[in-house]
């Protein structure tokens, strides 16, 4: 299985790259990271047919302050 397709029942990947990037974040940022990974993977699958995710890049974005706006969260749920 590829890194992008290994997942648990939660739908989150469990690849070494995913786990390494997630564990590099403080616990309070991990749910935000999980959300961006899920959304990014869905978008790349829709657009390109494959859910490629650069986990380290997304972790860095979260570390730098990326987060969904409350209106995005409400709209997507």
How far apart, in whole angstroms, are the C-alpha atoms of residue 72 and residue 52? Answer: 22
Using 50, 70 and 90 to split pLDDT, how confident is the model at 74?
Answer: low
Query: Which pLDDT tens digit goes with each residue over 36-71?
Result: 999 999 999 999 998 889 999 999 999 999 988 875
**Is the pLDDT score of 21 beyond 70?**
yes
Contact of 4 with 53, CB cutoff 8 Å: yes
What is the pTM assigned to this prediction? 0.76
pLDDT of 72 reads 56
In the predicted model, what is the mean pLDDT of the chain? 83
**Is the pLDDT score of 29 beyond 70?**
yes
């Amino acid at each position: 299985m590829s890194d992008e397709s290994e997942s648990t029942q939660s739908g989150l990947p469990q690849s070494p790259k995913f786990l390494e990037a997630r564990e590099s974040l403080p616990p309070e940022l991990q749910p935000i990271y999980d959300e961006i990974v899920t959304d990014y993977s869905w978008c790349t699958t829709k657009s390109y047919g494959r859910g490629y995710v650069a986990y380290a890049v997304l972790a860095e974005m979260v570390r730098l302050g990326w987060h969904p706006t409350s209106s995005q969260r409400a709209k997507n749920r």
